[in-house]
Structure 1
Amino acid sequence: MQCEGNKTYNQPFNCPICKMDLQPLETSASKIENTDGISEESIFNLTSNWNTEEGEQILLKDLKGKTLVMVMIYTSCKAACPRLVADMRNIEAQIPDNKIDQLNFVLISIDSKTDTPERLKSFAIENYMDDPQWTFLQGTETGVREFANVLAVKYKQISPIDFSHSNIISIFNPKGELIHQQEGLGVDNTETIDAILRLTN
């Protein structure tokens, strides 16, 4: 029971000050539910469907519960993407073995037509990224564009198999909220590693 500001009472009787009937406080059940739910800033609010390299169809919210290290690439890229992939592998190599199972390294293709689940699977194997902590995603053109906008990743198709694009690695907490971004190729990833380790403590 609450009356007179923050003053509370344990029994349902009249307030000794104003004599009004006391009203029960709202239960905290809804607040607890919101704590475990999805915030407005979470990428898990996006409802587009994605195909994994294993041929499974998922929503982004199916990735909930792990720290996410995400980057957008396309497998036929010969310039920036191989360096982004190397940066992802370098980040993974600096994570202690006992924390790896708390992370999911996710590579999203910006080339929905070419990068089929089968092609992504082959790419994963070729690049030694076929362990459980690695996930590759193919989406619709609309879903990819929506996700890129959330990450502030810009890309443009300049030929049937070539794109220009931003080089950004993004870190999300287990609730899908953006925590840190690393921009550029082969840059110092100390802050990125620190952000990941803070989330996995």
Structure 2
Amino acid sequence: MKTRMMLFGIFVSMLLIAGCGKKVIENEVNWPIKDFSATSQEQKTVGLKDLKGKVWISDFIFTSCADVCPPMTANMAKLQKKVKDEGLNNVEFVSFSVDPAVDTPEALKNYATQFGANLKNWTLLTGYSQEFIEEFALKNYKALVKKPEEGNQVVHGTSFYLVDQKGNIKKSYNGYKDVPFEEIISDIKSLQ
């Protein structure tokens, strides 16, 4: 009887210890991001190697966007503040311009500051071709980016993407409306 009780106690202890492990990200994907070379709002060259070792949230925006980008950028700034308030370190925010011919580093910097972005850990990228960003978004993020022949509005998705320290996309979230801030924070914590 004593042995049975002892084994039961060990079993319960193991279950409790296992329950204290890292949280699992629900509906996790594991899409590796291929290396890239881009220019930041500070006119520095940025590639995947510069983000390795950090958890990051990324999205696709452009400065002359007439509809979804302003709320997305405001939501990213709100998320950035929440991450800071939670005391989470080593988290980066990365916005890829989907209109690189128009979005200069200066234009991106001005755009981000209008939304209260903290540019210490938010990098806005340009400096590549339209063809590159369309192919990069599709192959890495499974996201459509398309600049039509007519007009100045680029078609693109409205998701935020959680990327792990190795450069793998782990999950996407709505970045436009009803942003699941608490879920994103929880998933960031599970990667740290």
Bigger relative contact order, structure 1 or 2, given CA contacts below 8 A and separation 6+?
2
Alignment of 1:53-64 (within 5 A): 53-64=41-52
Deviations 1:76-124 (A, max 9, x none): 1120001111221222222244644310011110001000111111112
What code does the residue aligned with 1:74 have?
F
Contact map agreement 2:100 2:130 (CA 8 A) in 1: yes
Unaligned 5+ segments in structure 2 are 1-29
* Other-structure match for 1:93: 81
Structure 1 residue 188 displacement after superposition: 4.0
Q: Report the TM-score, using the length of structure 1 for normalisation.
A: 0.71
Structure 1 residue 142 displacement after superposition: 3.2
Classify the secondary structure of the residue corresponding to 2:83.
Answer: coil
* Other-structure match for 1:175: 166
* Other-structure match for 2:144: 154
For the residues of structure 2 that align with 1:196 and 1:60, how far apart are their CA atoms? 19
For the residues of structure 2 that align with 1:121 and 1:160, how far apart are their CA atoms? 24
Query: Deviating runs (4+, > 3 A) in structure 1?
Result: 96-101
Q: Does 1:135 align with 2:127?
A: no
What code does the residue aligned with 2:157 have?
S
Contact map agreement 1:101 1:133 (CA 8 A) in 2: no
For the residues of structure 2 that align with 1:155 and 1:118, how far apart are their CA atoms? 22
For the residues of structure 1 that align with 2:53 and 2:119, how far apart are their CA atoms? 18
The RMSD of aligned alpha carbons is 2.0
* Other-structure match for 1:145: 134
